[in-house]
Amino acid sequence: MNEIGRFWTILFLLAILSPLGLMVPEYFGAGGAWGEDSPSEVQKIVGFLPAKMTELAEIWQAPLPDYSLPGTTETTPLTSKSWDYFLSAVLGLLLCGGLGLVTMRLLFRKTSAPYRTQPPTVDFK
């Protein structure tokens, strides 16, 4: 398997493990996943809200809020939410990987430049 194949295999394995970010806090009563707090939750935890956080929170709206497909509610079983996490991870990998691949192909088009050719082989007989 080449390097790119191993890279995508590792990313897919990480996508399979992504529901652990949902299950582990649920099973151990740890609250939500670290770093995914809303501004109101940050204010509750820290005691104040950083000035720029409110302003910047409105700039980006996630395509799949809370890593859930449309129609998922708080009462949805954990197994269904886990599938949503996995699908979100796969969609994110495909989107980011696809954009990266397109960008790479645009930037590194095949040319006849010397740095793109194979070095000559040397026979030590």
Q: What is the 3-state secondary structure (H, E, C) of the chain?
A: CCHHHHHHHHHHHHHHHCCHHHHHHHHHCCCCCCCCCCHHHHHHHHCCCCHHHHHHHCCCCCCCHHHCCCCCCCCCCHHHHHHHHHHHHHHHHHHHHHHHHHHHHHHCCCCCCHHHCCCCCCCCC
- C-alpha dihedral sign at 92, 94, 95, 100: positive
Tens digits of residue pLDDT in 13-30 = 988 888 888 788 878 887
pLDDT at 113: 55
User: Is residue 102 very low, low, confident or very high in pLDDT (cuts 50, 70, 90)?
Assistant: confident
pLDDT category, 88, cuts 50, 70, 90? confident
